[in-house]
Amino acid sequence: MNFLKILKKDVKEATPQVPNEIADIQTKYEVLVSEINKLIKDGLLILQKDSYYLALNKIANDNGVKESSIWVDYYMGRVSATSILLGRLLRIMGEDTNILNEIVLSEKNRAIDDINRCQNIMELLNKDDNKKKENNGKSE
């Protein structure tokens, strides 16, 4: 009889506790998903910033600023590397990777808008300077 008690005790001790393991696995999974989402969010912000500076430097390079070609290469590498990593993370999470292209295009448009705003400001400042020069010339 003692032998059977020992066997029953060993069987009970050897039996895995499934509910605790499942809860532990679910917790680990939720933490992993949360961390991946944080990585995606941070990566998208980096991609957004780098895409903006890439667009600005491309525009500068196209308009004859030779020094900007170094920065075009630099930001192109950053955008490419970030896009590859984010693409994999987005596919793991089952999300659409077209958001990466949309970010690059929206940042390009933002850079163009910013340059146009700066040009408009410069034109207004030049007009103001011309008016001041005319007024100074008339007063003399």
Q: Would you give the end-to-end CA distance of the chain in angstroms?
A: 123
**Residue 26 confidence (pLDDT):** 86
What the block records as the tokens of 15 is 């039996």
**How many C-beta neighbours within 10 Å does residue 131 have?**
10
Q: What residue type is assigned to position 102 of the chain?
A: E
**Residue 33 confidence (pLDDT):** 93
pLDDT band at 97 (very low <50, low <70, confident <90, very high): very high
**pLDDT at residue 10 greater than cutoff 80:** no
For residues 85 and 87, give the distance between their C-alpha atoms in angstroms, rounded to a whole number. 5
Q: What is the mean pLDDT of residues 55-62?
A: 93
Q: Could you state, in order of their start, the residue ranges of all structural domains in the chain?
A: 2-139
**pLDDT at residue 14 greater than cutoff 80:** no
For the segment 16-53, what is each residue's pLDDT rounded down to a tens digit? Answer: 555 667 678 888 899 999 999 999 999 999 999 999 99
pTM over 0.85: no
